[in-house]
Chains A and B, each alone.
Chain A
């Protein structure tokens, strides 16, 4: 309708020149009708269209057709599109809502614990998308909280960075550490970018507070060089964080972990070893203890008794290893091993026939057809 305004203004004088006088009132009525349409406030699309249609056609004054058809069909297409969008949005909302409800039902049914948390996280992801991160809150037990609070106090009080600032003359240790580490850690580089641009855009620099755990009073910060006589007795956790609120050990905590890595501070000395091959004896001590009592109780040991006891023990031990094949060529072969059992062909007497067990008797019986 806005497009109509210049048309109307420009042609007024022209029309009054070229129109026959008797058509002028008709033209003016129609023109006033259009003007009135322009002045209507928010009449809605359809009444507006009908009003314009009622004033059309204007072919008697305007050789160019004033065509509302494209506008109408455009409006129809728009409405169809809108309806389709709303329908699909509605379907998506319904689907998502159902997915969330499913997970909520799972959570309600699950026992309190990891399963319930997993279900609730899944519900949040179903609602907001897969990239949703749910950050857990945690509380600190008393010992941990004290350690943390002490470490924070040592850092804010300046004790932690004191050596670096006064002796090593590093004015901004944390920033120096960050700038160095950001060269090799992409996550810290992103954080560095946040710092650089927040300063540029007039926001305060996000300050980092370094702490070192387990807390040790007067220990230097180990992220940069430290005083030469300091001995690192154990592994340290260097936890450098941006606290959006001052640390309170009694409050619930939560945060985002950007990056973590481990560093090794090498020693000036290296442990090496000189290895050599030396054919040492391969024998081993016995697994048993031999208790020998004297053969005769005359109060004195006889050397022969001891030697005899040892030899006998070894002989006895070796006997454990004897196999029947080793007896086969000896005169004892018919007698040993002495596990003999009586047997008769018919079960007329007490006996134990081993041939029953190995099936030989069955074959024998079959062969003799008995």
Chain B
């Protein structure tokens, strides 16, 4: 208090009436308003009436003209994928006991390249498997090793470049050659070349009494290799389309009316295969005839009455005032820009409407196609509501958006397909390191495209960086040539001028050229054709040979007899580049069965590239 207003000795002041005054009243008014919500959001607890008041304030007592759902009665039409058509080949029955990924993605595992054995890791494993299986039959180990030997690489032969140029391969072969290990690949080749062939053909010293046992072992050996690696048969079942660098396949399910619903996946190259890879092809009435494809093994319809459960998810806001959310997911902390429409929509659904969603669980067999024929929900007042599918309407309607439904192709104004396709795919796949990695680049300066082999599989089965492999191969050829010529090639004559004319610059051997050619029957459209560079060795008296790609992805058609050219649709080589990998994948299926297969994956590359390839130029020296 200000000292001027203080009263000194109060008794004297009262006695002398020094401070005449009027007593007034001042009042304490609470003002429960603050700009900060922090206190209010603490949801503090006071007396019971205050708690009721808070609920009343939050509108928890406000009656609404609605009832809680109690029953849902639904009818589901079921069918199942029963036909499968790889690429544009013959239709076959849909195999339920193989994961769809494995069936679609499998690629042949090459055991030879240009007629030379490769994949020695597999060949050795096959040899060991065979020797193990014949061990109880008799002491034939040495005989089989001698009959199916691994040749020691020869340093002086140019054709042994794949074996001698790379230290890793040479080490393996040197250790395995000379009667130490058996090449199981040769045995398999012999057995599969003709069913009449026997494993003991041409093997010295096999007792005739053991022929039956060895034949049985050979059958088991072939079955073992079939189990070990899932490969497409030599013809008729390969979904990979090399011209497009993607998998194409179709599958169909019989419909109750007698027709078929045809699903096509004509551009599958992604990491995962799921519903979004498929489209319904309305233009195709049916795939080719397959006996027994009308039987799905499922009841055509299932009608059930169930109790719907409110949808709950982690981080879902709880509608009641004094209940607390699981703090592991904090939707309030999601950082969304004003342009993140999908994120904002998702947030709104999650934060505002989350308590209005209900779920009816339904277990379906893998491979099923389920359509909800009707869903009627009854609430506590016995009112019934027919629920229609969220994504229904015209398929092409631009406002339509839905998840888990499949697009309809080739039908103008068709109604949206609201059924659920449950492809028999996998939850978990193990993927090995890339065996092959090819970057397809456009080179606008040279007006062509390149297939750069970034990773190649060596003959030992090990992946190696393509650039290193190419350098080592060239070094080997140079060395072999030097041995043949008896010394390094003579240096070029001393130059009179500080420039030198060159016909063509060189590019690394792992750069495979693709040149534009016309599409047959068109003088405007172009496609890309695989070409080859000559391998030019200084001082080589022989004409140069063509450099062949090392990856199975780019060798398409080369290992055929006669070799076929490889055309690639030019639109598949994007401006951003296209990257194609080949890698082993392994998974388990429902009965525990292991599936291992080699597959290709396509990804977007890292832009254009320039090889620096030029013709007719002067080089400064």
Instruction: Tell me which of B32, B125, B355, B360 contacts A274 (CB under 8 A).
Output: B360
> Contact between B49 and A317 (Cβ–Cβ < 8 Å)?
yes
Per the bound structure, the CA–CA distance linking A320 and B57 in Å amounts to 11
Check A263 for interface membership: any CB of B closer than 8 A: yes
Question: Are A348 and B10 closer than 8 Å at their CB atoms?
Answer: yes
Smallest distance from the beta carbon of B85 to chain A beta carbons, Å? 24
Q: Is B432 among interface residues, defined by CB-CB distance under 8 A?
A: yes
With beta carbons under 8 angstroms apart, the residue of B2, B319, B594 that contacts A225 is B594
Q: Mark B575-597, 1 if CB is under 8 A from A, else 0.
A: 00000000011101111111010
B358 at the interface (CB under 8 A from A): yes
Which chain A residues border B13 with CB–CB below 8 Å?
A: 348
User: Chain B, 347-375, contact with A by CB distance < 8 Å: what is the 0/1 string?
Assistant: 00000010111111111111000101001
- Shortest Cβ distance from B297 into chain A, in angstroms? 12
Closest to B586 in A: A184
Interchain CB contact under 8 A, A270 and B22: no
Please measure, in the bound complex, the distance between the C-alpha atom of A55 and the C-alpha atom of B601, giving whole angstroms: 81
A324 nearest CB across to chain B (Å): 5
A348–B7 CB distance below 8 A:
yes
B26 within 8 A of A: yes
B36 part of interface (Cβ distance < 8 Å): no
Contact (Cβ within 8 A) A200 B180: yes
Query: How close is B599's CB to chain A, nearest CB, in angstroms?
Result: 11
List the B side residues contacting A273 at CB < 8 Å. 359-362
A186 to chain B, nearest CB (A): 6
A361→B1 contact, CB < 8 A: yes
Q: Which of B180, B308, B320, B592 contacts A284 (CB 8 A)?
A: B320
Provide the residues of chain A in CB contact with B379, threshold 8 Å.
278, 280
Q: Is the CB of A280 within 8 A of B53?
A: no
Most buried by B among A184, A263, A264: A184
Q: Does A28 contact B (CB under 8 A)?
A: no
Please, how many residues of chain A have a CB less than 8 angstroms from a CB on the other chain? 92
User: A351 to B74, alpha carbons, bound, how many Å?
Assistant: 76
B55: contacting residue among A205, A226, A287, CB under 8 A = A287
Q: Does A41 sit within 8 A of B, measured CB to CB? A: no
A284 touches B60 (CB 8 A): yes
Say whether B128 contacts A354, CB under 8 Å.
Answer: no
Can you list, as one digit per residue, whether each of B57-88 has a CB less than 8 Å from chain A (1) or not (0)? 10111111011110010100000000000000
- B90 in the interface (beta carbon within 8 A): no
Q: Please indicate the chain B residues that have their CB under 8 angstroms from the CB of A281 in the complex.
A: 63-64, 66-68
Contacts of B10 in A (CB 8 A): 348
Q: Are B366 and A268 in contact (CB under 8 A)?
A: yes
Q: Is the Cβ of A276 less than 8 Å from the Cβ of B52?
A: no
Bound: A318/B57 CA distance, A: 9
A284–B47 Cα distance when bound, in Å, is 19
Q: Is B52 a contact of A313 with CB atoms below 8 Å?
A: yes
Contact partner, B66, options A205, A224, A279, Cβ 8 Å: A279
Contact assessment for B430 and A185 in the assembled complex, using a CB-CB cutoff below 8 Å? yes
From B57, B121, B308, B432, A184 is in contact (CB under 8 Å) with B432
Given that A346-B5, A361-B5 are contacting pairs, would A282 and B26 also be in contact in the complex, using a CB cutoff of 8 Å? no
Q: How far is the CA of A327 from the CA of B86 in the complex (A)?
A: 80
Q: Is the CB–CB distance between B21 and A349 below 8 Å?
A: yes
Report the stretch among A99-107, A188-196, A293-301 that lies at the interface.
A188-196
B137 to chain A, nearest CB (A): 12
Residues of A within 8 A of B4 (CB): 365, 370
B276, CB-defined interface residue at 8 Å: no
Chain A residues near B176 (CB-CB < 8 A): 196-197, 200
Whether A269 touches B364, Cβ cut-off 8 Å, given contacts A183-B584, A313-B52, is yes
Kindly supply a per-residue 1/0 record for chain B positions 1-28, scoring 1 wherever the CB is within 8 Å of any chain A CB and 0 otherwise. 1101111001001100001011111111
Per a CB cutoff under 8 Å, which of B64, B311, B588 touches A265? B588
A281 to B321, CA, bound (A): 15
Query: Mask for A308-320, Cβ within 8 A of B = 1, else 0?
Result: 0000011011111
Within 8 A of B (CB), among A9-31: none
Of B25, B33, B366, B431, the contact of A343 (CB 8 Å cutoff) = B25
CB neighbours of A185 from chain B (8 A) = 430, 432
Per-residue interface assignment for chain A, residues 252 to 289, with 1 indicating a CB less than 8 Å from any chain B CB and 0 otherwise = 00000000011111111111111111111111101111
The answer to the question of B324 belonging to the interface, with a C-beta cut-off of 8 Å to chain A, is: no
- Per the bound structure, the CA–CA distance linking A316 and B48 in Å amounts to 10
Complex contact B56–A317 (CB within 8 A): yes
Q: How many angstroms from the CA of A274 to the CA of B68 in the assembled complex?
A: 17
A179-219 at interface with B (beta carbon < 8 Å): 179-186, 189, 192-193, 195-197, 199-202, 205
| Closest Cβ–Cβ distance, residue A75 to chain B (whole Å) | 35
Measured CA separation A109–B31 after assembly (Å): 63
Closest-by-CB residue of A relative to B361 is: A273
Name which of B288-296, B419-427, B495-503 contacts chain A. B419-427
Interface residues of A in 51-90 (CB under 8 A from B): none
Across the interface, B49 reaches (CB within 8 A) one of A225, A284, A313, namely A313
Chain B window 541-565, contacts with chain A (Cβ cutoff 8 Å), 1 for yes, 0 for no: 0000000000000000000000000
Across the interface, name the chain A residue whose C-beta is closest to B123: A196
Least CB distance from A323 to B in Å reads 6
Min CB–CB distance A157 → chain B (angstroms)? 19
Q: How far is the CA of A273 from the CA of B403 in the complex (A)?
A: 13
Instruction: Identify which of B23, B319, B592, B594 gathers the most chain A CB atoms within 10 Å of its CB.
Output: B592
Which residues of chain A are within 8 angstroms of B594 by Cβ–Cβ distance? 177, 180, 223-225
Contact yes or no, A347 B363, CB < 8 A: no
Q: A225-B592, A313-B49 are in contact. List 7 more A-B contacts (CB 8 A).
A: A272-B363, A272-B422, A276-B387, A278-B385, A282-B64, A347-B1, A347-B6
- 3 smallest CB-CB distances across A and B, nearest first, come from A184-B432, A200-B180, A288-B48
* Sampled A-B contacts (15; CB under 8 Å): A172-B129, A176-B224, A263-B430, A265-B588, A266-B589, A267-B590, A270-B366, A276-B375, A278-B308, A283-B62, A317-B56, A339-B29, A349-B23, A353-B1, A353-B26
Q: Which residues of A does B touch, CB under 8 Å?
A: 169-172, 175-177, 179-186, 189, 192-193, 195-197, 199-202, 205, 222-226, 228, 261-284, 286-289, 313-314, 316-321, 323-324, 337, 339-349, 351-356, 361-362, 365, 370
Which residues of B are in contact with A by a Cβ distance under 8 Å?
A: 1-2, 4-7, 10, 13-14, 19, 21-33, 46-53, 55-57, 59-64, 66-69, 72, 74, 121, 124-125, 128-129, 132-133, 172, 175-176, 180-181, 220, 223-224, 227-229, 308, 311, 319-322, 353, 355-366, 370, 372, 375, 377, 379, 385, 387, 390, 420, 422, 426-428, 430-433, 584-586, 588-594, 596
